[in-house]
Protein backbone atom coordinates (compact mmCIF):
# COMPACT_ATOMS: atom_id res chain seq x y z
CA UNK A 1 0.00 0.00 0.00
CA UNK A 2 1.45 3.34 -1.14
CA UNK A 3 -0.25 6.43 0.26
CA UNK A 4 0.38 10.11 -0.51
CA UNK A 5 -0.52 12.42 2.39
CA UNK A 6 -0.57 16.13 1.44
CA UNK A 7 0.39 18.85 3.91
CA UNK A 8 1.91 16.92 6.79
CA UNK A 9 3.92 20.10 7.39
CA UNK A 10 2.61 23.61 6.83
CA UNK A 11 4.48 26.01 4.56
CA UNK A 12 5.84 27.80 7.64
CA UNK A 13 7.07 24.52 9.12
CA UNK A 14 8.79 23.58 5.86
CA UNK A 15 10.56 26.97 5.73
CA UNK A 16 11.66 26.55 9.35
CA UNK A 17 13.11 23.12 8.56
CA UNK A 18 14.90 24.43 5.49
CA UNK A 19 16.43 27.35 7.38
CA UNK A 20 17.73 25.09 10.13
CA UNK A 21 19.09 22.52 7.69
CA UNK A 22 20.81 25.17 5.56
CA UNK A 23 22.84 26.20 8.63
CA UNK A 24 23.77 22.62 9.55
CA UNK A 25 26.60 20.21 8.82
CA UNK A 26 25.99 17.53 6.19
CA UNK A 27 27.91 14.23 6.13
CA UNK A 28 28.15 11.20 3.84
CA UNK A 29 24.81 9.38 3.82
CA UNK A 30 26.45 5.96 3.85
CA UNK A 31 26.66 6.17 7.67
CA UNK A 32 23.06 4.93 8.04
CA UNK A 33 23.16 2.32 5.26
CA UNK A 34 23.76 -1.40 5.60
CA UNK A 35 26.74 -3.03 3.91
CA UNK A 36 24.87 -3.77 0.70
CA UNK A 37 22.90 -0.51 0.55
CA UNK A 38 26.02 1.58 1.12
CA UNK A 39 27.34 0.45 -2.26
CA UNK A 40 24.22 1.84 -3.96
CA UNK A 41 23.94 5.07 -1.98
CA UNK A 42 25.29 8.51 -2.87
CA UNK A 43 23.77 11.34 -0.85
CA UNK A 44 24.31 13.60 2.18
CA UNK A 45 22.67 13.45 5.61
CA UNK A 46 22.41 15.45 8.80
CA UNK A 47 24.10 13.51 11.65
CA UNK A 48 21.27 11.80 13.55
CA UNK A 49 22.78 12.70 16.93
CA UNK A 50 22.87 16.44 16.13
CA UNK A 51 20.67 18.99 17.92
CA UNK A 52 19.02 20.09 14.68
CA UNK A 53 18.05 16.49 13.84
CA UNK A 54 16.51 16.07 17.31
CA UNK A 55 14.65 19.39 17.19
CA UNK A 56 13.27 19.00 13.67
CA UNK A 57 12.54 15.34 14.33
CA UNK A 58 10.29 16.29 17.24
CA UNK A 59 8.51 18.83 15.02
CA UNK A 60 7.79 16.09 12.47
CA UNK A 61 6.68 13.57 15.10
CA UNK A 62 4.22 16.14 16.46
CA UNK A 63 2.90 16.73 12.94
CA UNK A 64 2.44 12.98 12.41
CA UNK A 65 0.58 12.63 15.72
CA UNK A 66 -2.05 15.16 14.63
CA UNK A 67 -2.56 13.62 11.17
CA UNK A 68 -5.44 11.14 11.05
CA UNK A 69 -4.46 9.68 7.67
CA UNK A 70 -0.95 8.78 8.84
CA UNK A 71 -2.36 7.15 11.97
CA UNK A 72 -4.94 5.21 9.94
CA UNK A 73 -2.44 4.03 7.34
CA UNK A 74 0.56 3.22 9.53
CA UNK A 75 -1.17 2.24 12.81
CA UNK A 76 2.08 3.26 14.53
CA UNK A 77 3.48 1.52 17.59
CA UNK A 78 6.91 3.17 17.39
CA UNK A 79 8.33 5.72 14.95
CA UNK A 80 12.07 5.89 14.35
CA UNK A 81 13.45 9.41 14.96
CA UNK A 82 13.24 11.21 11.59
CA UNK A 83 16.46 11.57 9.61
CA UNK A 84 17.27 14.15 6.93
CA UNK A 85 18.93 13.65 3.56
CA UNK A 86 19.97 15.68 0.57
CA UNK A 87 20.65 14.74 -3.06
CA UNK A 88 22.69 17.24 -5.05
CA UNK A 89 23.39 17.01 -8.80
CA UNK A 90 24.69 13.57 -9.71
CA UNK A 91 23.57 11.91 -6.47
CA UNK A 92 21.20 8.93 -6.35
CA UNK A 93 20.30 5.82 -4.36
CA UNK A 94 20.01 2.69 -6.50
CA UNK A 95 17.47 -0.07 -5.89
CA UNK A 96 17.56 -1.48 -2.35
CA UNK A 97 15.36 -2.74 0.49
CA UNK A 98 15.50 -1.00 3.88
CA UNK A 99 17.04 -2.83 6.83
CA UNK A 100 14.44 -4.93 8.65
CA UNK A 101 15.50 -3.89 12.18
CA UNK A 102 16.90 -0.56 13.35
CA UNK A 103 18.06 0.35 16.85
CA UNK A 104 16.54 3.59 18.13
CA UNK A 105 19.54 5.66 19.33
CA UNK A 106 17.40 7.58 21.82
CA UNK A 107 15.61 4.72 23.58
CA UNK A 108 17.76 1.70 22.81
CA UNK A 109 14.66 -0.15 21.54
CA UNK A 110 14.97 -2.11 18.34
CA UNK A 111 12.34 -1.08 15.79
CA UNK A 112 11.00 -3.44 13.14
CA UNK A 113 10.67 -1.42 9.95
CA UNK A 114 7.18 -2.15 8.64
CA UNK A 115 6.42 1.19 6.95
CA UNK A 116 8.88 3.54 5.23
CA UNK A 117 8.12 7.26 4.87
CA UNK A 118 9.60 10.13 2.89
CA UNK A 119 8.62 13.71 3.78
CA UNK A 120 9.55 16.08 0.96
CA UNK A 121 11.25 19.37 1.91
CA UNK A 122 12.03 20.74 -1.57
CA UNK A 123 9.57 22.30 -4.02
CA UNK A 124 9.18 20.06 -7.05
CA UNK A 125 10.14 22.81 -9.49
CA UNK A 126 13.46 23.43 -7.69
CA UNK A 127 15.08 20.21 -8.93
CA UNK A 128 15.00 17.70 -11.78
CA UNK A 129 15.21 13.96 -11.23
CA UNK A 130 15.22 12.75 -7.64
CA UNK A 131 11.98 10.79 -7.96
CA UNK A 132 11.31 8.08 -5.39
CA UNK A 133 10.62 4.90 -7.37
CA UNK A 134 8.87 2.03 -5.57
CA UNK A 135 8.23 -1.50 -6.84
CA UNK A 136 5.39 -3.58 -5.44
CA UNK A 137 3.09 -6.38 -6.56
CA UNK A 138 1.07 -3.87 -8.61
CA UNK A 139 4.00 -2.49 -10.58
CA UNK A 140 6.34 0.49 -10.39
CA UNK A 141 5.24 3.77 -8.77
CA UNK A 142 6.97 7.15 -8.92
CA UNK A 143 6.65 9.73 -6.14
CA UNK A 144 7.73 13.36 -6.37
CA UNK A 145 5.47 15.59 -4.29
CA UNK A 146 5.38 19.20 -3.05
CA UNK A 147 7.32 20.27 0.02
CA UNK A 148 5.43 19.29 3.16
CA UNK A 149 3.83 16.21 1.58
CA UNK A 150 4.60 12.66 2.71
CA UNK A 151 4.54 9.30 0.98
CA UNK A 152 4.46 6.03 2.93
CA UNK A 153 4.88 2.50 1.61
CA UNK A 154 5.78 -0.99 2.89
CA UNK A 155 9.41 -1.30 3.95
CA UNK A 156 9.52 -4.65 2.16
CA UNK A 157 9.36 -2.80 -1.18
CA UNK A 158 12.32 -2.55 -3.52
CA UNK A 159 12.86 1.18 -4.12
CA UNK A 160 15.34 3.80 -5.30
CA UNK A 161 15.89 7.55 -5.66
CA UNK A 162 16.62 8.62 -9.23
CA UNK A 163 19.71 10.67 -9.96
CA UNK A 164 19.26 14.42 -9.49
CA UNK A 165 20.18 16.32 -12.68
CA UNK A 166 19.42 19.88 -11.53
CA UNK A 167 19.07 21.57 -8.18
CA UNK A 168 18.94 19.74 -4.86
CA UNK A 169 16.35 17.38 -3.34
CA UNK A 170 15.94 17.59 0.45
CA UNK A 171 13.73 15.32 2.54
CA UNK A 172 13.15 13.68 5.88
CA UNK A 173 12.84 9.91 6.05
CA UNK A 174 11.95 7.48 8.79
CA UNK A 175 10.41 4.10 9.57
CA UNK A 176 7.41 2.98 11.59
CA UNK A 177 6.87 -0.23 13.49
CA UNK A 178 3.17 -0.81 13.04
CA UNK A 179 0.83 -2.43 15.52
CA UNK A 180 -0.26 -4.55 12.54
CA UNK A 181 2.79 -6.16 10.95
CA UNK A 182 1.17 -7.58 7.80
CA UNK A 183 0.80 -5.05 4.99
CA UNK A 184 -2.27 -6.78 3.58
CA UNK A 185 -4.04 -6.54 6.93
CA UNK A 186 -3.00 -2.89 7.31
CA UNK A 187 -4.38 -2.15 3.85
CA UNK A 188 -7.74 -3.72 4.68
CA UNK A 189 -7.95 -1.76 7.93
CA UNK A 190 -7.03 1.51 6.20
CA UNK A 191 -9.63 1.01 3.47
CA UNK A 192 -12.28 0.05 6.03
CA UNK A 193 -11.46 3.07 8.20
CA UNK A 194 -11.67 5.44 5.21
CA UNK A 195 -15.00 3.93 4.17
CA UNK A 196 -16.39 4.38 7.69
CA UNK A 197 -15.29 8.04 7.67
CA UNK A 198 -17.06 8.60 4.36
CA UNK A 199 -20.21 6.80 5.53
CA UNK A 200 -20.35 8.94 8.68
CA UNK A 201 -20.73 11.99 6.46
CA UNK A 202 -23.91 10.49 4.98
CA UNK A 203 -25.67 8.71 7.83
CA UNK A 204 -25.84 9.23 11.62
CA UNK A 205 -23.12 7.79 13.85
CA UNK A 206 -25.83 6.04 15.87
CA UNK A 207 -27.13 4.06 12.90
CA UNK A 208 -26.76 0.25 13.14
CA UNK A 209 -24.66 0.21 9.96
CA UNK A 210 -22.06 2.65 11.35
CA UNK A 211 -22.01 0.92 14.73
CA UNK A 212 -21.53 -2.46 13.07
CA UNK A 213 -18.75 -1.30 10.76
CA UNK A 214 -16.95 0.47 13.60
CA UNK A 215 -17.20 -2.62 15.80
CA UNK A 216 -15.81 -4.79 12.99
CA UNK A 217 -12.90 -2.38 12.48
CA UNK A 218 -11.90 -2.39 16.13
CA UNK A 219 -12.34 -6.14 16.46
CA UNK A 220 -10.04 -6.69 13.48
CA UNK A 221 -7.43 -4.36 15.01
CA UNK A 222 -7.80 -6.30 18.27
CA UNK A 223 -7.27 -9.59 16.41
CA UNK A 224 -4.23 -8.47 14.38
CA UNK A 225 -2.44 -5.96 16.64
CA UNK A 226 0.86 -6.83 18.30
CA UNK A 227 1.82 -4.58 21.21
Q: Which residues are annotated as part of the binding site for 2-oxoglutarate?
A: 169
Of the chain, the end-to-end C-alpha distance in Å amounts to: 22
> CA angle 31-16-60, nearest 5°?
60
CA–CA separation, 212 and 195 (whole Å)? 13
Q: Specify whether the CB–CB gap between 151 and 3 falls below 8 A.
A: yes
Q: What are the residues whose beta carbons fall under 8 Å from the beta carbon of 129, sequence distance 6 or more? A: 92, 162, 163, 164, 165, 166, 169
Binding residues: 96, 98, 159, 169
Binding residues for Fe cation: 96, 98, 159
Q: Specify whether the CB–CB gap between 180 and 226 falls below 8 A.
A: yes
- The 10 Å CB-count burial string (b at 16+, else e) for 112-125 is bbbbbbbbbbbebe
Amino acid sequence: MLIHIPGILSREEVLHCRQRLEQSEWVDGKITAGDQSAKAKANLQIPQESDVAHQLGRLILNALARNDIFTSAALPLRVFPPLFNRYDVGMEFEYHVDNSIRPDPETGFRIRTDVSSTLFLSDTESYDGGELVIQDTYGVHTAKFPAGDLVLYPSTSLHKVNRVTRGSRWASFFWTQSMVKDDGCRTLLYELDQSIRQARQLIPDTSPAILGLTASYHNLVRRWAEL
